[in-house]
Amino acid sequence: MSRYHEIKHRLVTTFQRRVANPLSSRMPGQILLETTGRTSGLPRRTPVGGSRVGQQFWLVSEYGDKSQYVRNILADPRVRVRIKGTWHTGTAHPMPEDDPRARLRTLPTGNSAVVRLMGTNLLTVRVDLAD
């Protein structure tokens, strides 16, 4: 990762962790991804954008395997996703073979624009929903 991308990553993730995520997590319509902390074992909730297609939920991570929630998924792929106020259990799969820019064109435009603008290492994630 270039020095520019490293600085951008630090600035954006600090803002998200301290300001944006705590605020947006409280919004009832916000989609949340709940992973299990790979070190703590505690539930970790992250606001995400994405779309449900049948029994799958698709999203694109801005920072690929540098994203804390992707690192948690790699340690334990069992997740929950809150969609329209309802929690769904599932299994998450990072999809490095998927084209994340093409995937973003199929997802909600507002979040996709932010991911394209802020992201430095895009990675598609598919969640196979159990319910």
Q: What's the DSSP call for residue 20?
A: I
Provide the phi-psi class of 41: left if phi over 0, else alpha when psi is between -120 and 50, else beta.
Answer: left
Note the pLDDT tens digit of each residue in 52-74. Answer: 999 999 999 999 999 999 999 99
Q: Both tokens of residue 85?
A: 């106020």
What does the pLDDT read at residue 15? 53
Closest CA to 17 of 45, 52, 56: 45
Q: Both tokens of residue 16?
A: 């998200």
Note the pLDDT tens digit of each residue in 87-99. Answer: 999 999 999 999 9
Give 4 or 103, the one with higher predicted confidence: 103
Looking at the predicted structure, is the pLDDT value of residue 22 above 60? no
DSSP-derived pairing of the beta strands 56-61 and 51-53: antiparallel
What does the pLDDT read at residue 102? 96
